[in-house]
A and B are shown apart, each in its own frame.
Chain A
Amino acid sequence: MEWERNILYGIGIRRSPLKKGKIWTVFLFLLPWLVSLVVLWYGPIIYTVVLSFMKYRLIGGGRFIGFKNYINIFQDRFFWLGLRNTFSFIVLYIPANFIIGLFTAYMLNLNIRLKGLWRSIIYVPAVLPVIAILALGKFIFYPYGLVNTFIEMIGLKGPLWLANPNLIIPTSVILMVWQCGTAMIVYLGALQAVPSQYYEAADIDGLGKSQQFFQITLPLISPAVFFRMIIDLIFGLMIFIPSLILPAGNVPGGPGNASLFYALYLYEKAFQRFNIGEASTLATILIIISFVITWAVIKMSKRYVYYEV
């Protein structure tokens, strides 16, 4: 059957597909994974959606209340504030991670000395726990931290990075981009996969380096850029830890709620206020937002991503 062949082809069995009916053997071996997918992934998602229609507390159970949680959430200014802050982070984080990740990958793809060492140095922060990066970053951006000490050395007064509502998200982005090593590895792999003949032909045609980058390199690594964009987008929607660690005074979401990210508000609803019903509503809305944005990006990608060389 056509669909059987497609599935087998999809999972890598290309040369000797199993006979008709043997597909169940494959499914049987896939069963443990499928069971865990349903039980540990789809199950909790469905349960969360169900809870979003309930007034539910951890102790004492719950009851169905229709769309009341949704109405409450849409009338809650912190829901909108959380969304705004999260998207502010995403709007800064995705381009920053792309530019710095690609720039470092590009540099490391050149013929430079101690290439392996440089790659390791740039990649190391990516394997450190985010919390360690942020704890260190907090000291760097303190009023008397490393950054302000340098600024003072040139005779200026440094800003309050962690106490200024306008600077807390950019500071979070700077520290999160510190972990651009993962993006760098992806881009480096993509850059190395670009056939050198293209550049040779471009040299003969007299194309400059910047033209080569925009007309050859970027289109050919666009699948990698697209992949990173989806990953960064999902990461951005779930961003949470910087708002717990960074703000001055250890104020989660501070200063002045400027870093109250959506996921932080969801966490507070569930585990500080124990309002599981509304927390589930926030989670359900986040799932829908993630799905819609990812779908839109995939749709748009058809115009900008080139899969064939």
Chain B
Amino acid sequence: MQKAIKILVLTILSLFIVMPLSAGGQKEAKEEGPVKLSFWHLWGGSRTPLIKKLINDFKADHPNVEFEVTFTPPNELQKKVVQAAGTGTLPDVFGMHTGWYVNLLPGSTLLELDSYLSKDSINLKKILVAADAERSYYEGHVYSLPNVCAGAQGLFFYNKGLMRKAGLDPDKDAPKNWDDFVKISKILVEKLNTPGKLDVIAWDPNQMAGQPALIVFSYGAGYPTVSDNGKTSQLDTPGVLATAEKFDQYIKDIYGSYGGYRGILEWNSRVAGADTGAAQVKAFIKEKQVFYVSGSWTIGQVKSGNPDLDLGIIPVPGFKGQQGGIAKNGWSYAISKNSKHKDMAWEFLKFITIDPAGNGEFCKAQRRPSPIAAVNDDPVYAAMGDMWTNLVAAMNMDIVPVAPDINQDILKPWLRDIPARRIAGESIDAIMKDISKQYQGYLNDIYQ
């Protein structure tokens, strides 16, 4: 028995001794081999082949580079990136939203890119769309570079075919302000449905495929939903409450005879299949919804989902007239401060952000505007006709809020909850005040 105990003790001890040594051995072996970059991105679905192409194109010029690629859905990415930053395990290059800077403490976790930019004589303000150049900076330094254009997040998409079907002229009758929009919505719902059965909706203000409509319209009317320093919720201020009330009235006016909020919820379950923002685009593709507010990224989605759909894009018909997309923050790529291959990571970062041959192609393939200004002059976009012209017009009409971007992932579910709470009998004012309190709680935690 004593011999057995001795063997057991020696085995356990030797394991404790050997394990760290073997880990160290692996580490050395890694550094001796070819350069291996770890890369986290958020582009799944139809964008997966585009990411593969980006990597292969980069590898063609850098044959010694190997990649360890990880896809993470956008709604999971923040948690993953912040946790990795906290534990010092960020990958070499990773996707991030510039709205997360406050959670990432860039100075201690991200590689400052100023010296790399000056070494390569790159002036971001000269090559990027203004809003995208602006959002690359945090406290005066560049910590990330834009991956897609954030200048066109609040666009109004509409189905020209359904407009014609309702006896409207899709170009002349395209709404130019909120009052126009309400009138046209009424006509559309009346003409495209049989009484008592809601089959095609005009728009649902509480569904959102990108920026929440409440934020888009409120900013457009001059009522920011968060204070300049980003620390105070303004969701309960009179201007924002007025926006929420207009949306509430819209549901009553347009869908009152179909059950109001309940009618919309039922329509969602019957037509859209699932009640998320993505479902809104799905319903649009199925030609069961005439309008939606979203960013330019859904153009490719709509075109591939229903190539025959006659898609129109116009600036948002705001309370004070047409307004452009809201641009402050958006998707970017950054390099970990702990990266062991900073120079190669920088080369890759440039390719997937500010290089027309890399990121330019990635954006063009999706027919979405590029953060690289020159790429947007490519004939591939001009071929999109008035859709592109209107999109550029909306981008140039930018209303750039001075405040940091409100955290959409947090706020969106609460706004999507409005119909259920209205059905339960809460007033829109009470709901908005409650959401504001909740959001303030979130901001207090973030800025603690």
Binding site for B on A (CB under 8 A): 22, 25, 28-29, 31-32, 55, 57-60, 76, 78, 142-145, 160, 163-166, 247-252, 254-256, 269, 271-275, 278
A53 to chain B, nearest CB (A): 15
> Whose C-beta in chain A lies nearest to the C-beta of B8?
A28
Contact with B445, one of A25, A31, A278 (Cβ below 8 angstroms): A278
Q: Is the CB of A144 within 8 A of B8?
A: no
Contacts A251-B413, A251-B416 given; does A269 touch B9 at CB 8 Å? no
A278 to B445, CA, bound (A): 9
- Give chain B interface residues in 68-87, CB to chain A under 8 Å: 79, 82-83, 85-87
Binding site for A on B (CB under 8 A): 1, 5, 8-9, 12, 79, 82-83, 85-87, 103-105, 108-109, 206, 262, 265-266, 268-270, 274-276, 409-410, 413-414, 416-417, 419-421, 423-424, 426, 438, 441-442, 445-446, 448
Q: Is the CB of B420 within 8 A of A255?
A: yes
What are 10 A-B pairs at a CB distance below 8 A?
A22-B1, A58-B85, A59-B103, A78-B438, A144-B270, A163-B265, A165-B421, A271-B79, A273-B442, A273-B445
A78 to B1, CA, bound (A): 58
A275 to B446, CA, bound (A): 7
Q: Is the CB of A269 within 8 A of B8?
A: no
Q: Is the CB of A255 within 8 A of B417?
A: yes
B366 to chain A, nearest CB (A): 25
A186 to B65, CA, bound (A): 56
A209 to chain B, nearest CB (A): 45
Q: Is the CB of B269 within 8 A of A58?
A: no
Q: Is the CB of A59 within 8 A of B275?
A: no
Contacts A59-B82, A160-B265, A255-B421 given; does A249 touch B448 at CB 8 Å? no
List residues of chain B with CB within 8 A of the CB of A166: 424
Q: A59-B86, A163-B265 are in contact. List 8 more A-B contacts (CB 8 A).
A: A59-B104, A78-B438, A164-B420, A247-B417, A251-B413, A254-B416, A255-B420, A273-B442
Q: Is the CB of A28 within 8 A of B5?
A: yes
> Whose C-beta in chain A lies nearest to the C-beta of B263?
A143
Contact with A59, one of B108, B276, B424 (Cβ below 8 angstroms): B108
Contact with A144, one of B9, B86, B266 (Cβ below 8 angstroms): B266
List residues of chain B with CB within 8 A of the CB of A29: 8
List residues of chain B with CB within 8 A of the CB of A250: 274-276, 413, 416
List residues of chain B with CB within 8 A of the CB of A275: 445, 448
A138 to chain B, nearest CB (A): 8
Contacts A58-B83, A78-B441, A274-B82 given; does A254 touch B109 at CB 8 Å? no
Nearest 8 pairs of A and B residues by beta carbon? A58-B86, A255-B420, A273-B445, A249-B416, A163-B420, A275-B445, A142-B269, A251-B417
A6 to B445, CA, bound (A): 51
Q: Is the CB of A254 within 8 A of B417?
A: yes
Q: Is the CB of B265 within 8 A of A269?
A: no
A227 to B281, CA, bound (A): 49
Q: Is the CB of B262 within 8 A of A274?
A: no
> Whose C-beta in chain B lies nearest to the C-beta of A55?
B448
Q: Is the CB of B269 within 8 A of A60?
A: no
Give the residue among A55, A59, A275 with the most B Cβ atoms within 10 A: A59
Q: Is the CB of B105 within 8 A of A251?
A: no
Q: Is the CB of B421 within 8 A of A256?
A: yes
A274 to B104, CA, bound (A): 11
A204 to chain B, nearest CB (A): 57
Q: Is the CB of A59 within 8 A of B265?
A: no
Q: Is the CB of B262 within 8 A of A160?
A: yes
Q: Is the CB of A144 within 8 A of B269?
A: yes
List residues of chain B with CB within 8 A of the CB of A273: 442, 445-446
List residues of chain A with CB within 8 A of the CB of B423: 160, 163-164
List residues of chain A with CB within 8 A of the CB of B262: 143, 160
A214 to B193, CA, bound (A): 60
> Whose C-beta in chain B lies nearest to the C-beta of A253?
B413
A3 to chain B, nearest CB (A): 22
Q: Is the CB of B424 within 8 A of A272?
A: no
Q: Is the CB of B420 within 8 A of A254?
A: yes
List residues of chain A with CB within 8 A of the CB of B419: 163, 248-249
Q: Is the CB of A25 within 8 A of B1?
A: yes
Contact with B420, one of A28, A55, A248, A278 (Cβ below 8 angstroms): A248
A86 to B261, CA, bound (A): 28
> Whose C-beta in chain A lies nearest to the C-beta of B437?
A77
Q: Is the CB of A143 within 8 A of B103?
A: no
Give the residue among A78, A145, A254 with the most B Cβ atoms within 10 A: A254
Contacts A143-B265, A254-B420 given; does A58 touch B82 at CB 8 Å? yes
B85 to chain A, nearest CB (A): 5
